[in-house]
Amino acid sequence: MSAHRSRLSGTALSFRRFAAAPGPSILLAMLVLVAAFTATAVPRLIATLHTDSLRQQLAGPAPAALDPTAAFVETPAFGDSAGASTLPSDVGAVWGAQEAAALAARDALPSPLRDVLGAPLALTVFDPASALPATAAAGGTTYSPQVAVDPRLHEHVELVEGDWPAAFDGSLPPSDGDDPLEIVLAAPVAEAMAWQPGETRMLAYDDAPGADVPTRLSGTVAPLDADDGFWSHALNGLEPSIKQIGNAPPDITGLAFVDPASWTPFRTVERIAAQTQVWFPVELDEIRAADSPELIAQLSTFASTAVVLGPGGWIELDPLTVDGVERWSGSAAVADRVGFTSDLRTELETAVAEAAAVDAVLAALVSGPAGVAVAVLVLAARVVFERRRPGLELEAARGASTGRLRTTLAGEALAVSVPAALLGGAAGMLVATGDAGAGGWIVAAIFALVPAALLAGQAGALSPLRRQRSDLGAGGAGRFRWIGEVLVVALAAVALGLLLQRGLSTAAAATGIDPLLAAVPLLLALAACVLVLRLYPLPLRSLVARLRRSRGLVSFVGAARALRDPAAGLVPVLAVVVGVAVATFSSVLLATVETGTSTAAAARIGADLRVSGLPFTTEQLDGFAAVDGVAATAPVYASRTAPLAVDGHKESVTVLVVDVAELEAVQAGRPDALELPAALTESGSAIPVLASSSVAADIAAEPDPELDGRPVEVVGSRETPTPFSDRDAWVLVDRSQADGLVPTLVPRAVVVRLEPGADPDAVAAAVQEIAGVDAIVQTPGMLEAELAERPVGAGLAFALTAAIVVSSLLTALAIVLTLIVGRPGRAALLPLLTTLGLGRRGERALVAWEIGPMTIVAAVAGIGVGVLLPFAVLAGIDLTAFTGGDVQPAIIVDPLLVVAVAGGALAVAALAVAIAGGVGDRQDAARAMRKETEG
C-alpha cells in the first residue's frame, strides 16, 4: 500500500486519466506515426523512383541527342555580348553576340524547361581539309583534320604538350612571312595523324585550290572531362575517326581546334563550308519526373519556335587572290532565325508512359492497405474509447456535459496524434529525398485528425446508465445494411466492368493515378467482405448443430458465440480480406513480372547465348562452336536493309540471312523459337521468305512482291519481333536462297545453344575471349538480371514486398484489436466457464473461436480476390514497362506462392490469437469473477 500524491488541478486529473491506461493511446499514436510516415515517404519514394527511372532512360542516348540543338550552315553572328556572356573578353568580343542571343532565348523559356537547360554552348566545324606531311608518299594514309572553333576551348581541354594555339591575325592565304595557323589536336588524334607538335603542314581544301594554309600543331590536348556532353557534339574531337572504303588507304579525321578569338580573320576569308551548332546542354540532374508532362509540352512549343541567333543578311567575303589572280569572291549568309530540335521529348514520353504503369500498379497496391489502415485506425480509436469509457461515464453521471466529454476525448486524441503525425511526417521527409509536394502532409494531417474526430463523435454514445453494443457493421439497422451492401457490390461490379471494357490504358501515357484502377481493388475487397459477412454464418450454423451433439464444451460455446455474438464486424473482416488479397495479388504480380522478364529476356536473346556487335571471322565462328558446353551455333550471316516494293511505294525491310538447319538446331524446343517452314530452303522462281506479320500483310496485298528487285514468296509469318532485329519489318531468308539479296555474308551475330548442364557464365566468358572485348555476349540470365536491376523493376519488387509486409502487419493488428475490443464479452464468459471447469487451454481455444471462423472464411475470400484481381487490374496496366519485353506477359498464378500466402495469413492470425490470449486472460478465475461482479 503506497500513498500517492494527490494533485487536484484539472490538468493533473487529465494527465492521470491518460497515464492510467496509456497503452491504447500509444498504439493510436504509433498508428498515426506510421501512417504519417508512409504518407510523406511513399510519394517521395515514388517520385525518386520515377526520377531515377527517368534519368536511366535519359542516360541511354548521347547527350547530343537530348540537348536542344540548332545546327546551321550560315555564318554565325559575331560581335560583343555587351556583358551578357561569361566568355573571356577576347573571345567574347567575337562570340559574345551569339551567346547573348542564345542566353536571352533560354531565359525567355518558361520554367521548368528553362531550369533544366544549361548555359548555351557553340561549336563550328569546317569540312575536312587534307593535311599531309611533307614527306607523305602518294597512295598512303590520308589525314583530314577539320578546323573547329570552340569558344570555350579552355574550359574543355587542357594542354598535354606544347602550347595553346596563338592568335591568328594573318590573311588567307597567308602572305609570306605571316605566322602559320596554329591548331591543337587531342593527343590520340595527333598520334593517328602522326603529327608532332611544332610540325607545320599545308591545309588544303579541294574546293579552294591554291588557298592552302600553312598550319602548325602548337600542342596536344586532353579533355578535362571526357564524359562531358560537349564531346558528343564535338564528333571526332577526342578520338580520330578512321575510315576505310574497299581497298583504298584509310582516311583519318579529327577536330583541329584553333584559337577561338582568331575567328574573325579566319572566317572573313573563309569560303569553306562549315556547320555551326548552338545547343543548350540538358542538366539531367535538374529533371524531375514530376515535371515531365510540363517539360514535354514546353519542349514541343520550343521545337516549333524560331529563335533569333543573329541579325541575318549577308556579308561580303574577301576575294581570294592566288598569284595575283582573283580566284574567288562572294558573300556569305549570316544566321538569323534557327530552330532547336531535341530527342528529349520522345525520351520523356517513353519515361512518362513507364511511370504511368508504375503508378497504376502502385495505386492498385496501395488502395487496399490504405483502406485497411483507416479501418485499423477506427478500431484503435474504439479501443481507446472503450478504455476511457467507464471513467467518462462516471463523469457524465456527475454532470459532465457532452461538450466536455467530447473535448476530453478529442483532446487526448489530438495530444497524441498531432505530435505523432508531425514526427512521422518529418521522418518520412528525412527518409526519402524526392520532392512530391504537400500532398503527403495533407494525408498525414487527416490521419492526425481522424482519431480525434472519431472519438469526439462517439461522445454521444457515452451513457452513464447502460452499455449498448455498437459493433461496427454487425447488427445495425437491417435495412440500411442491405442498402449499403447492395451499393458496395454494385459499385464494385460497375467499376470492374468499366475497367475490363477499357482495356490497356496506361500505354497511352496517362499521367497521375487512375482513380478507377485504384478503387477497384478496394471495392472488390469490400464486396468480398459483404459476402463473407453474409455467408460465413451458413457453414457455422451446421457446425454449431453438429457440435451441440458432441461432448466438447469449448468448441460448442466457441462456435455458438461466433455465430450468435460475433465479435468480428466489418473492420477485421476487411483487414483480413484486403491483407490476404494484397499479399496474393502481390505474389501473383511478382511471379508474373519475374516470369515475364525471364520470357522477355529469353525472347530478346533467342537462344541460350548470343554474341554480337562485330563482324566475326570464320575462325572465330569455329572457335565459338568449339567452346566447351556449346551444343550448336547459328550465325546470322547478314542483316541488311532492302527496299520492298509494295503498293507502288517502297518500304524498307530488314533482310536476315540464316542457315535454317543451324537455327533450328539452336532454337529446338524453345517456346520462342522461330517456326521455320521447310519451304524456306526450296528453290523456286521466287525467294521463299519468313516475314514478320507486318511485312506479310503488306506482301499479301501485292500480286508480285519484289524485294530489292527480286520476286519473293512468303512461306510463313511471325507476330513478334525476332531477337536478330529491333525492327518490326523484317524477312528471314535461308542462306541457300540469299544469293543476290545480300552482297556478302559477314556474320555480326551468332546465337548459341548450350549443352544441357553447361554453365552459361563460363561459356559466355570463353566466347567473349574469342570474340574480343568489344563484342557483346549475352545470356538470357544476364539480360534478366539487367532488366531486373532497372529502377522500375527493383522499385516494383520493393513495393510488392512492402505491400505484403505492411498488409500482413495491418491484418495482425486488426485481429489483435478485434480481440481487445471483444475482451469485455469474453471476460464476462470466462469466469463462468472456469467455474464449469474450463482450463487455460480452453480459454485460448475460446479466443481462437472468436476470430477463427471469420479469419478462415475471410482468408479464403481474400485469396479469391487476390487471384482474380490481377486478371481485372492487369488488363489495364502495361506490364512491359516492368518486363522489358514487347508483349504483355501472361498472368502466372503460382499455386505454391498462393499457398504460402494463405499459410502466412493463418500464421499471422494464430500469432495474433496467441498475443491477445496471452495479454487478455492472465488472471485467475476468482479475480475475474470478482471483476465481473464489479463490472
The residue among 4 and 551 lying less far from other proteins, judged by its C-beta, is: 4
The residue among 415 and 797 lying less far from other proteins, judged by its C-beta, is: 415
Q: Are 874 and 520 in contact (CB under 8 A)?
A: no
476 near other proteins (CB under 8 A): no
Select from 355, 432, 430 the least CA-distant residue to 56: 355
394 near other proteins (CB under 8 A): yes
Shortest Å distance, C-beta 863 to other proteins:
38
Region at 275 (left for phi over 0; alpha for psi -120 to 50; beta for the rest): beta
Q: How, if at all, do strands 630-646 and 706-707 pair?
A: antiparallel
The residue among 5 and 649 lying less far from other proteins, judged by its C-beta, is: 5
398 near other proteins (CB under 8 A): yes
CA atoms within 13 Å, Cβ hemisphere of 869: 36
Tell me how far apart the alpha carbons of residues 438 and 435 are, in angstroms, rounded to a whole number.
9
Shortest Å distance, C-beta 482 to other proteins:
20
Stretch that binds other proteins, among 37-45, 160-168, 397-405, 894-902 (CB under 8 A): 397-405
The residue among 381 and 400 lying less far from other proteins, judged by its C-beta, is: 400
Shortest Å distance, C-beta 519 to other proteins:
39
DSSP 333-352: EB--EEE-B-SHHHHHHHHH
934 near other proteins (CB under 8 A): yes
Shortest Å distance, C-beta 825 to other proteins:
18
Q: At residue 504, what are phi and psi to the nearest 5 degrees?
A: -70, 115
Shortest Å distance, C-beta 425 to other proteins:
32
- Strand partners of residue 543: none
The residue among 227 and 934 lying less far from other proteins, judged by its C-beta, is: 934
- Of 3, 245, 508, 773, the one binding other proteins (CB under 8 A) is 3
477 near other proteins (CB under 8 A): no
Shortest Å distance, C-beta 398 to other proteins:
5
- Of 401, 433, 617, 652, the one binding other proteins (CB under 8 A) is 401
Nearest 5°: the CA angle 931, 934, 935 is 85
Nearest 5°: the CA angle 227, 232, 236 is 105
- Of 35, 208, 234, 400, the one binding other proteins (CB under 8 A) is 400
The residue among 404 and 844 lying less far from other proteins, judged by its C-beta, is: 404
Residue type, position 844, single letter: R
Q: What is the CA radius of gyration of the chain?
A: 38
Stretch that binds other proteins, among 173-181, 271-279, 505-513, 927-935 (CB under 8 A): 927-935
Shortest Å distance, C-beta 929 to other proteins:
14
**Cell matching residue 735:** 542462306
**Cβ neighbours of 710 (radius 10 Å):** 14
Shortest Å distance, C-beta 875 to other proteins:
49
Q: How, if at all, do strands 274-279 and 200-203 pair?
A: unpaired
**Cβ neighbours of 273 (radius 10 Å):** 11
Alpha carbon separation from 782 to 55, 313, 596, 666, 884 (Å, rounded)? 22, 57, 15, 19, 13
Shortest Å distance, C-beta 476 to other proteins:
15
Tell me how far apart the alpha carbons of residues 357 and 582 are, in angstroms, rounded to a whole number.
18
Shortest Å distance, C-beta 405 to other proteins:
10
**Cell matching residue 801:** 514486398
Beta strand ranges found along 239-313 (DSSP E): 241-243, 251-258, 274-279, 306-308
5 near other proteins (CB under 8 A): yes
- Number of residues in contact with other proteins under rule CB under 8 A: 33
**Cell matching residue 912:** 495474433
First-to-last alpha carbon distance for the chain, in angstroms, is: 23
Q: How, if at all, do strands 325-333 and 630-646 pair?
A: unpaired
The residue among 395 and 734 lying less far from other proteins, judged by its C-beta, is: 395
- Strand partners of residue 325: 322
Shortest Å distance, C-beta 393 to other proteins:
9
1 near other proteins (CB under 8 A): yes
Residue type, position 502, single letter: R
Nearest 5°: the CA angle 165, 169, 172 is 105
134 near other proteins (CB under 8 A): no
Interface positions, 842-881, toward other proteins (CB under 8 A)? none
305 near other proteins (CB under 8 A): no
Tell me how far apart the alpha carbons of residues 644 and 659 are, in angstroms, rounded to a whole number.
22
Tell me how far apart the alpha carbons of residues 117 and 122 are, in angstroms, rounded to a whole number.
14
**Cβ neighbours of 314 (radius 10 Å):** 12
The residue among 17 and 727 lying less far from other proteins, judged by its C-beta, is: 17
Residues 6+ apart with CB under 8 A from 172: 211, 213, 265, 266, 269, 270, 318, 320
470 near other proteins (CB under 8 A): no
- Of 110, 330, 390, 437, the one binding other proteins (CB under 8 A) is 390
Q: Are 639 and 757 in contact (CB under 8 A)?
A: no
703 near other proteins (CB under 8 A): no
Q: Given the C-alpha cell 524531375, which residue does it identify?
A: 288
6 near other proteins (CB under 8 A): yes
Nearest 5°: the CA angle 838, 564, 368 is 105
Stretch that binds other proteins, among 2-10, 420-428, 600-608, 818-826 (CB under 8 A): 2-10
Beta strand ranges found along 757-810 (DSSP E): 776-778
Binding mask 332-371 for other proteins (x = CB under 8 A): ----------------------------------------
Q: Are 731 and 706 in contact (CB under 8 A)?
A: no
Shortest Å distance, C-beta 932 to other proteins:
11
Stretch that binds other proteins, among 7-15, 251-259, 551-559, 711-719 (CB under 8 A): 7-15
- Of 17, 640, 727, 844, the one binding other proteins (CB under 8 A) is 17
- Of 245, 465, 508, 773, the one binding other proteins (CB under 8 A) is 465
The residue among 297 and 461 lying less far from other proteins, judged by its C-beta, is: 461
395 near other proteins (CB under 8 A): yes
Stretch that binds other proteins, among 335-343, 344-352, 386-394, 675-683 (CB under 8 A): 386-394
481 near other proteins (CB under 8 A): no
9 near other proteins (CB under 8 A): yes
297 near other proteins (CB under 8 A): no
Interface positions, 19-58, toward other proteins (CB under 8 A)? 19-21
Q: Which ranges of 627-759 would DSSP assign to H, the alpha helix?
A: 660-667, 693-700
138 near other proteins (CB under 8 A): no
Stretch that binds other proteins, among 3-11, 53-61, 445-453, 629-637 (CB under 8 A): 3-11
Q: Which secondary-structure segment (H or E) carries 934? A: helix 925-934
Shortest Å distance, C-beta 14 to other proteins:
9
Stretch that binds other proteins, among 23-31, 371-379, 393-401, 570-578 (CB under 8 A): 393-401
4 near other proteins (CB under 8 A): yes
Stretch that binds other proteins, among 18-26, 73-81, 317-325, 525-533 (CB under 8 A): 18-26
Q: Are 420 and 404 in contact (CB under 8 A)?
A: no
The residue among 112 and 391 lying less far from other proteins, judged by its C-beta, is: 391
Select from 182, 164, 161, 181 the least CA-distant residue to 172: 181
Q: Which secondary-structure segment (H or E) carries 636? A: strand 630-646
Shortest Å distance, C-beta 404 to other proteins:
7
The residue among 3 and 134 lying less far from other proteins, judged by its C-beta, is: 3
Beta strand ranges found along 591-629 (DSSP E): 609-612
User: Which spans of this chain sit near other proteins (rule: CB under 8 A)?
Assistant: 1-10, 12-13, 16-17, 19-21, 390-391, 394-395, 397-402, 404, 464-465, 933-935
